[in-house]
Structure formats: C-alpha cells, structure tokens
Amino acid sequence: MADKKVNLKKIKFKKINLKSKKLRHVLFTILKVVVFTALILFFVFAAAEKLNISAITDFNDNFRNRIATLTPGDGYPYQINSGAVRDITILGSNFFVLMDDQTLSLDSTAKEVKTSSHTFSNPAMNTKGSKAVVYNRNGNRYRIENRTDTLFTGETAEDEKIITAALSKKGQLALATFSDTCSSKLMVYSSNYKKVIFEWTCSQDSITSVDLSDNGKYAAVCVVGARDGEIYSKVYVFDFDYSDPKAEFEYFGTAMVAVRFVKGDNVVALGDNMISYIKNAKTKEDVSFDTSTLAAFDFSESGECVIVLSQYGSTNNQVLVCYSSSFKKTCEKELKKAVKSIYMENGRISVLFDDEIIVYRTGGGVYHKYDADNTVKSVYNLGNKTYAYSNGKIARCK
C-alpha cells in the first residue's frame, strides 16, 4: 500500500488560550505545588545534612554522584602521583584515594567526582558503608567524608592523639586515642558527631583496633599488653547502655591486630597466630594457625574474612583461607608463591602475586587470571571488574 501524504496546511491546530481564567488557575496551582515541593525538599535535605541523618546523607551522596556521572571521565587507566598515595579503597561504586595532601573520589569512568585537600601529617582512613573517616594518626584532627562531600570535621583534646578510628553503617564514630590520664581511651560519638554517647578508658593496655556494629549499639575493642615478659591480648564487647563490658576474652601469647563485627552482633578477632569467632558476646571459637603466621587479611562489607598464612614463616609456601560471615570455612588453597596484596568484595578474592593476579570465588574456584608485573602494588574489585594500582596509575585488568 502506498504511503499517503499528509497536507499539514489542512490540519487545524487548537491554540491554548492562556487568557482563560480556569487554565491560568490550573497552571498557577501546578507551579505553586512544584515550588513548594522543591522548597520542602531543599530544607529537609539541608536540615538532614546538618544533623547528618545517615539515610538522607546517603541519598544525597547517591544523587550527587549520579549527577556527576552524567558527564563521564576519560576512562581508566587514571594517572596518579604514586609518591603521594597513602591508601586506596572502594567506597560505594567509586575509588576513594587518600593522598599526602588530599582525598580523591573517582567514579567508574575515572571522573574526579570530588577532591578535598587536607593538612594531616600522617593521614590514615577507615571506611564503613558509604562513609570514610580520615584522621591524622598520632594527631588530633579527623573528618567524615563520603564520595561527594565532607560531612564533618573535628578534633580531639590536645593530649589525646588518635590511634585508630571506625564508623558504623548508622553513622556513629569511634575514636581510639592515647591519653595522659590512661594508657588508651575509646570515645564513641553520635551520628551527628557532636555528642559522646560512650566512653571507656583502658588503664594499662593499648588499643590496637576497634569496630562498631551495624546498628550502632555495640563496640568491639582489642587491646595488647604484656605480663611477665609475655604478650597477651584482650577483646571487649561493649553495649553503650552499660559502662562495664558485655563480654571480655583474653588471649595469651597472641597479638590481636583487628576486630570486626560480622553477621548479626558476632565478632571476628584476628591475631598474629590465631583467629577467634565471638558469638553473641557469650562464647568463642578459636582456630590456631599452628606453625603458620598471618601474612595478609581482608574483610568484605558483608562480613566475610580472608586470610593468608605463611607456613613455617615462608613467603613461598602460603595458604589462603576464606570464612563466611557465620565463620564457616568456604575455601582453603595452597599458594606456591608470595602474596603481595589481597582484596575481597562482591563474592570474589583478588590475589596479587609478582607476575599475575588470580581472582578466586569465595568458594575457591578461579574466576579470572591476569598478567601482572612487579610494579603492581594492590588490586581491587569494583562491580564485576578487577583493577590494579601500580606506579603512577589505576588501571582496569584486561
């Protein structure tokens, strides 16, 4: 069938009569609703940002990051001053880079979503969920950031130098400090970071690690001390409604290096020669490394734990062990060469060797292999892709 030609000249279009009182009233009503809604949202988000309501700040962060990604970057590899890099991690869907003088947020297209300068002499960071606490180790200053903004800046008392810091997914902040009045001290702040909701002083031992539960109600703390010439560690679990610890466990001959809340309110404590699973702050299950020593470890956001053990202290005879968030061993693999770096997220473990990167599934199967050289320093999982950081660049593995 032949196409019929349409004569536009014969078509009559109705003109909208803007002089109509009824139509003007409708348009004016719609305009008022739009303006009123925009104002309400503006004030709600402004108030929420000021009060640091976690869900709202997360929504704002997602919105701003999405707007930023509407105009993509030049893609990876991203050139970077490797001499200034202190640490790199994944925050949400972005790379979050801590440098000597600034923090840097890069989206999946290598676009610089945010840069924020700092003057910390010894910068360090810790992340949880969508936020990072950046602090001056052995100094007094700290700040809370996400991918697109700096949410809060603060400082401790002059005599309280920061040892380490942690966040909960609800937004609470924990700071472990040295103190003139005790060996070490823990302070936990509310989600607006302006009120101390819990405080604990340790008279003799030094805090080495702290973590907060996802619901922001509990803290896990490990300390290290010495008695009769032998090192020991203790792990405490605190409920913020009580001054005394909810649980206390002691480990002789072990230097605990990390504590982490995993599934529910359970805690994994990781030491140089053992790993301990504390269930409901009541019982613990210890696994000794026997003749092996801890060489590397990582935790995923979902509470899985991966460790690399050096058998008899040999870096060329190592074992990779992965535990689920409920402390079930999901895999154990012998590695015949030294591990330089590991990273676990999204159900995968990226393992860096001198000459290659092997990405394992948490069940132990090989997901992918990539060639590498000895300039590569660390590896990361972002989405379903693997990235490597080497001298001067962050690049996607191909």
We find that the CATH architecture of domain 291-398 is 6 Propeller (2.120)
Confidence of residue 59 (pLDDT cuts 50, 70, 90): confident
Percentage of the chain beyond pLDDT 70 is 87
- Determine whether 357 is exposed, middle or buried from the number of CB atoms within 10 Å of its CB (0-12, 13-18, 19+): buried
Q: What is the pLDDT of residues 11-48, one digit of tens each?
A: 454 555 555 666 666 666 777 666 665 555 555 555 55
Cα-Cα end-to-end distance for the chain:
53
Q: In the predicted model, is pLDDT for residue 4 greater than 70?
A: no
d(CA 325, CA 337): 27
Q: Give the pLDDT confidence score for residue 313 in this predicted structure.
A: 78
The domains of the chain are located at 291-398
Q: What are phi and psi of 144, to 5 degrees?
A: -110, 130
Residue 55 CB contacts under 8 Å (≥ 6 apart), including other chains: none
Query: Token pair of 223, please?
Result: 């300390």
Q: Give the pLDDT confidence score for residue 180 in this predicted structure.
A: 84
Query: Token pair of 42, please?
Result: 């503006």
| Residue count (the chain) | 398
Q: Give the pLDDT confidence score for residue 239 in this predicted structure.
A: 97
Q: Give the pLDDT confidence score for residue 35 in this predicted structure.
A: 64
Q: Give the pLDDT confidence score for residue 336 in this predicted structure.
A: 86
Better-predicted residue by pLDDT, 262 or 26: 262
Better-predicted residue by pLDDT, 6 or 110: 110
Whether 144 contacts 150, CB under 8 Å: yes
14-23, 112-121, 124-133, range with the lowest pLDDT: 14-23
Whether 73 contacts 107, CB under 8 Å: yes
* 3-class secondary-structure state, position 365: coil
Q: Give the pLDDT confidence score for residue 7 in this predicted structure.
A: 54
Q: In the predicted model, is pLDDT for residue 10 greater than 60?
A: no
For 159, which DSSP code? Answer: T
Confidence of residue 69 (pLDDT cuts 50, 70, 90): confident
Q: What is the pLDDT of residues 276-286, one digit of tens each?
A: 999 999 999 99
Better-predicted residue by pLDDT, 263 or 16: 263
Q: What is the pLDDT of residues 297-321, one digit of tens each?
A: 999 999 999 999 999 878 888 999 9
Other Cβ atoms closer than 10 A to 229 = 5
Q: What is the pLDDT of residues 174-217, one digit of tens each?
A: 999 998 888 999 999 999 999 999 999 998 899 999 999 999 99
